[in-house]
Structure 1
Amino acid sequence: MPFLDLPPQMQERVVCSISAAVKYEVAANVVLAVDEKEGGKPGQWVRNSNGTYDVGYMQANTRYLADLARYGIKPEHVAAAGCYSHDLAAWRIRMHIKKDSGDLWTRASNYHSRTPAINAVYRADLIRRAVKWADWLEARFPTHNVLAPDTQQRAARVPVTIVAAVPAAPAAPAAKPQASPRIWPTPSYVPRKLLVSAEP
């Protein structure tokens, strides 16, 4: 089991984070980093200076939850133990990544705040934590080349696209590959390297 090196109280959080990341196609190290950063507990309600509360594992703000009441989502659901708060958080992070502006880390940090100064502080810490979780995932969930031997030879002649867990510097957007397997813009897990082969 890849989770045995974690304290028992962390195991549920990690399982819920990875499961939610896979379900909502968000990089697992990003969801794990947000979970660790928020650091909430089941049943926890943290009062903010503006009169709102941050609720549960993922510290969802009651102002945000009020907008979801029309869907039957209540703060009590998010405060409960289990994976529901992680699912809601991964869904919300995905929406920020898809719809907001800025780089991946600014968008993911909008989970906490869109205020630039607050977002920048959260973003810096989120990147640090995401790197740690990417290393943890990579050590426990190795990836394997599943291409057929003839496809491997063709792929060797095609440039390799590198997807970094954290960008060293802003890079120009890569051209959309002509590859046949579907390439997800935000994979469930962000590997250090991703081989993308173009059909000849």
Structure 2
Amino acid sequence: MPPFIADLTPIAQERVVCAISAAVKYEVPANIVLAVAEKEGGKPGQWVRNSNGTYDVGSMQFNTAYLRDLARYGITANDVAAAGCYSFDLAAWRLRMHIRNDKGDLWTKAANYHSRTPRYNAVYRADLIRKALKWADWLDAHFVTLDVTKADTTPSMPLQPIEVQRVTQQTPASSPVSSPAAKQASVRSLSQKNYVPRSISFKTGD
């Protein structure tokens, strides 16, 4: 396991590893999945009752309303509540469906994970963007990434050597970058009006 992940707490390790794995599997921008995971802030075995009688379950607070369509595949709420990457896979699958099928811009679609009601969506959307920008910089610092909106784009290399970008156990998952270089990168990102989500590239060149 890379040192910048191994130094995280067990819960943060699961969140980062599972979110990135699910993002790659379902072709959803990794920083969006990481941002949603941070915003939801759930834990294995957690059940939160909503006012409409549904529950938000597990690490990704997956709403049980979506399980009605998944029941035919044998997927239950207990599966979603369990520890491990399964709930992240379901969340990435759901984000993929929102991004592909819903109306609005990318961020509004992603915020539909929380709510389609405009006033709730807008609040979630604004914070999701802030968190996604931060996670994009973290990904840029540690992985080869691609701008998902541009064809034939050249992969960007990590901003700093991995050894310099170590994340300590004292660094909470809500603040994935702490080095001066990473903080400067975050400021650069926040100043870019057209900053877009990024995916991870596994292409190493010829």
Give the alignment's TM-score, normalised by structure 2. Answer: 0.70
User: Do structure 1's residue 188 and structure 2's residue 190 form an aligned pair?
Assistant: no
**1:7, 1:82 → 2: CA distance?**
15
Equivalent residue of 1:54, what SS? strand
Q: CA deviation at 1:187?
A: 6.0
Deviations 1:114-158 (A, max 9, x none): 111111000001001001101111111145958xxxxxxxxxxxx
**2:26, 2:190 → 1: CA distance?**
18
1:54 aligns to what?
56
Q: CA deviation at 1:165?
A: 9.3
Percent same amino acid among aligned pairs?
70
**2:143, 2:81 → 1: CA distance?**
30
Q: CA deviation at 1:6?
A: 2.6
Q: CA deviation at 1:67?
A: 2.2
Give the gaps of 5 or more residues in structure 1: 147-163, 171-185, 191-200
**2:190, 2:86 → 1: CA distance?**
26
The structure whose Rg is larger is 1
**1:116, 1:166 → 2: CA distance?**
26
Assess, with a 3 A threshold, how the Cα gap between structure 1 residues 139 and 54 changes in structure 2: closer, same or farther.
same
Q: Retained in 2: the 8 A contact 1:134–1:165? A: no
Choose which of 73, 84, 87 in structure 1 pairs with 2:86.
84
1:141 aligns to what?
143
Give the alignment's TM-score, normalised by structure 1. Answer: 0.72
Q: How does 1:96-175 map to 2 (within 5 A)?
A: 96-142=98-144, 168=193
Q: Retained in 2: the 8 A contact 1:18–1:32? A: yes
Equivalent residue of 2:48, what SS? strand
Choose which of 21, 39, 42 in structure 2 pairs with 1:40.
42
Q: CA deviation at 1:88?
A: 0.4
Q: Retained in 1: the 8 A contact 2:33–2:92? A: yes
2:67 aligns to what?
65
**1:143, 1:38 → 2: CA distance?**
24
